[in-house]
Amino acid sequence: MKLVIQRVIESNLTIDKKIYSSIGYGMVIFIGISANDNESFLNKIASKVSKLRIFNDEFGKMNKDINGINGEILLVSQFTLYADTKKGNRPSFIKAAKPENAIKIYNSFIKELQTYIKTKIKTGKFGADMKINLINDGPVTIILEN
């Protein structure tokens, strides 16, 4: 599993030109699920995400986590995080989980993460063509891999 976490001032996600989800200050998390992933490690990753101190305290030091700022999360499935570009110019996605397996892990991760987060987690729509607008803060981008 790969997570790309971006600290944002705000973000919105549209599907078919309609806003599907939006958040204020918090995190946009892009999640890629590999063919080798399973649900056994979701608790550990969810805990880690909730405790990442990537938000500034009153002294400007990254010392607060998402709950410490009452921040919001937009979680978006992105199989392209498992693109393989070693051969040729067109990426291969054979390392990504099959959709039927990925959606189960994705939904389980949402539930697991929600147990650690005070505010409701917003999501994209699994498998949809989404447009995501975000305003990075910093920018701060963190990559977590299992």
119 is catalytic: no
Supply the range of the domain harboring residue 116: 2-144
pLDDT band at residue 121 using 50, 70 and 90 as cut-offs: very high
Q: Residue 139 is encoded by which pair of tokens?
A: 């920018």
Which CATH number characterizes residue 116's domain?
3.50.80.10
Question: Which pLDDT does position 13 carry in this prediction?
Answer: 98
Q: Is 64 helix (H, G, I), strand (E, B) or coil?
A: strand
The number of distinct structural domains making up the chain is: 1
Burial (Cβ within 10 Å: 0-12, 13-18, ≥19) of residue 85: exposed
d(CA 138, CA 146): 25
* Site of tokens 């992933």: 37
Question: Which pLDDT does position 56 carry in this prediction?
Answer: 98
Summarize pLDDT for 37-85 with one digit per residue, the tens: 999 999 999 999 999 999 999 999 999 999 999 999 999 999 999 999 9
E strand or H helix at 103, and its extent? helix 99-114
The β-bridge relationship of strands 122-123 and 72-77 is: parallel
Q: What is the mean pLDDT of the chain?
A: 97
**Res. 16: pLDDT tops 90:** yes
The mean per-residue pLDDT over the stretch 2-28 comes to 98
pLDDT band at residue 95 using 50, 70 and 90 as cut-offs: very high
pLDDT band at residue 32 using 50, 70 and 90 as cut-offs: very high
Question: Which pLDDT does position 146 carry in this prediction?
Answer: 86
Burial (Cβ within 10 Å: 0-12, 13-18, ≥19) of residue 40: exposed
Q: Residue 95 is encoded by which pair of tokens?
A: 């390392």
Question: Which pLDDT does position 137 carry in this prediction?
Answer: 98
d(CA 127, CA 118): 27
Question: Which pLDDT does position 7 carry in this prediction?
Answer: 99
Q: How many residues does the chain have?
A: 146
Phi–psi pair at 71, nearest 5 degrees? -80, 170
Q: Which of 14, 80, 123, 141 is catalytic?
A: 80
Q: Residue 32 is encoded by which pair of tokens?
A: 């890629």
State the pTM of this model: 0.95
Angle at 31 between CA 30 and CA 33, to 5 degrees: 155
pLDDT band at residue 108 using 50, 70 and 90 as cut-offs: very high
